[in-house]
Structure 1
């Protein structure tokens, strides 16, 4: 597929339209109780490297919408290089990345020529393994039933992740929230929860904690319902879901967050790039939190441009 054909697609609009549709269906794509195998895990490139940023969120949502069970996505040429073929009539998804070019222009005050780096969104087309015939067996999700994991087998990993984070967590009352003014997380007592898994998943208010002025400096907004407040919730909800996925915790949309769905829809419909920015902020927040304990998720690398269709297929792009 040529670059000129690719450029005709409004990729930011396509991504945002899908997220809006999932929200209107009452199923935020980042709030699934994701498993660690099959379609429940993070989307992977053909070589097994996880996608990052908006590509994770978009391919997750699209895989869920289309009922794909495989985690793997690849280009037409990558499938061919593996001895497989995309089935006739299948529609590809988009995987995005930022490219840039330098532009020289005159400074309005000094009159001197200055060089500016201009970033712009580009994309290439990928297909899920479920749209492709004759791939090696490991690209397809296994048929055997998932084996439930007992909470006790995860407790060491949960404690290692949370205990290293120097957040002030206080217990009492019947609400869970983060207060930026006093910089602490408020939680109901542990005995109020049906399980320690649910306690840990609720403690993912750490997403808000990461954005405090002394850490990542995100704008929280001034009141419920304003756009900055809703955008912060959009970021924090994705951070919470990411922590839950990494640690194998339940990731259902919290009741107190469900009321934000209409505000999220308003933001996404007004700005087609908002979800891309929110996903990047969520990635940054998760990495900040994970750094305290040295937690390592599946190895990932920066999104980068896919090889040109006429070039040799790289080991991983």
Structure 2
């Protein structure tokens, strides 16, 4: 009997779609739901943070199961760390790409293709024999919000204040934000955090310019290109908020894009991979502007 091949792209896309739809119409994606969960998932073996779509799928899995450690690893990695995955625990999946050289029947030339490889991982809450190390709060010169201000300043982006809308204006290559006093808090974020997350969202838009990341989505997404750019900015801001330890406040004005995002994700199983990859590229570009 032929078994159906596991499709990691479809699996992760379905997971993100379910997380959006389970919001019952509210604009609350997985990375908005857990107060205090403001760090990127980390691998137990390498100690490195996951990137791209793997951040989203692990945030969604952690939210669905109530995991808060943020530490993940394969069955083997946990064993090497002296821990044992409990029997019956269900894995989440991360994806890695492997380059494979493919030859042609009609030519001596070959080409390199990327193939997605699904890897099952388990959270620290799913294992026995592991005790999370005590992590001391980092002592920095700046408190978290000041760190965000410094991060934006180091990019050289022009930020103006005034009016009632937040947006990036390509014609002047500048970011426009409402006055600071216009921002209000929420049950999971302060007014200062709402201001910072909004500024970081617009900063991701700022990276779309040709001289920076040169994001051109129209060819693939057509009329949905603008909504996809908003999703990239939403993801990029979430990644930055996690790195800077800022609670990422939901953007109520972006609820209008939910139906569009769902339509695109359901039609194109690799759309969320593209959006998260572009968001990671934007964050990596901004990191290069931070100096030593």
Contact 2:162–2:179 under 8 Å retained in 1: yes
Decide whether aligned partners of structure 1 residues 8 and 198 sit closer, same or farther in structure 2, where only a CA change above 3 A counts.
same
Partner of 2:44: 46
Q: CA deviation at 1:119?
A: 1.1
Tell whether 2:155 aligns with 1:165: yes
For residues 197 and 83 of structure 1, what CA distance do their matches in structure 2 show? 38
2:287 to 277, 287, 290: 290
Q: CA deviation at 1:177?
A: 0.8
Q: What is the TM-score with the length of structure 2 in the denominator?
A: 0.84
For residues 89 and 102 of structure 2, what CA distance do their matches in structure 1 show? 39
Tell whether 2:120 aligns with 1:125: yes
Deviations along 1:179-205, one digit per CA (max 9) or x if unpaired, are 223322111123323443332222121
Contact 2:152–2:203 under 8 Å retained in 1: no
Q: How does 1:67-216 map to 2 (within 5 A)?
A: 67-105=66-104, 112-135=107-130, 137-138=131-132, 153-194=143-184, 195-204=191-200, 205-216=202-213
3-state SS of 2:48 partner: coil
Q: CA deviation at 1:59?
A: 0.7
Partner of 1:300: none
Deviations along 1:44-95, one digit per CA (max 9) or x if unpaired, are 1112221111111111111111111222112222223333322111111112
For residues 31 and 145 of structure 2, what CA distance do their matches in structure 1 show? 23
Partner of 2:61: 62
3-state SS of 2:147 partner: helix
Deviations along 1:255-306, one digit per CA (max 9) or x if unpaired, are 12121111111111011111111111101101111221238xxxxxxxxxxx
3-state SS of 1:226 partner: helix
3-state SS of 2:59 partner: helix
Q: CA deviation at 1:33?
A: 6.4
Decide whether aligned partners of structure 1 residues 34 and 274 sit closer, same or farther in structure 2, where only a CA change above 3 A counts.
farther
For residues 104 and 35 of structure 2, what CA distance do their matches in structure 1 show? 48
Report how many residues are paired: 273
Q: What is the TM-score with the length of structure 1 in the denominator?
A: 0.78
Q: CA deviation at 1:125?
A: 1.4
Q: CA deviation at 1:32?
A: 4.6
Aligned CA RMSD, in angstroms, stands at 2.8
For residues 97 and 273 of structure 2, what CA distance do their matches in structure 1 show? 11
> 5+ unaligned residues in a row in structure 2: which ranges?
185-190
Partner of 2:11: 14
Q: Which has the higher contact order (CA 8 A, sep 6+)?
A: 1
Decide whether aligned partners of structure 1 residues 254 and 85 sit closer, same or farther in structure 2, where only a CA change above 3 A counts.
same
Contact 2:170–2:209 under 8 Å retained in 1: yes
> 5+ unaligned residues in a row in structure 1: which ranges?
296-317
Q: CA deviation at 1:121?
A: 0.5
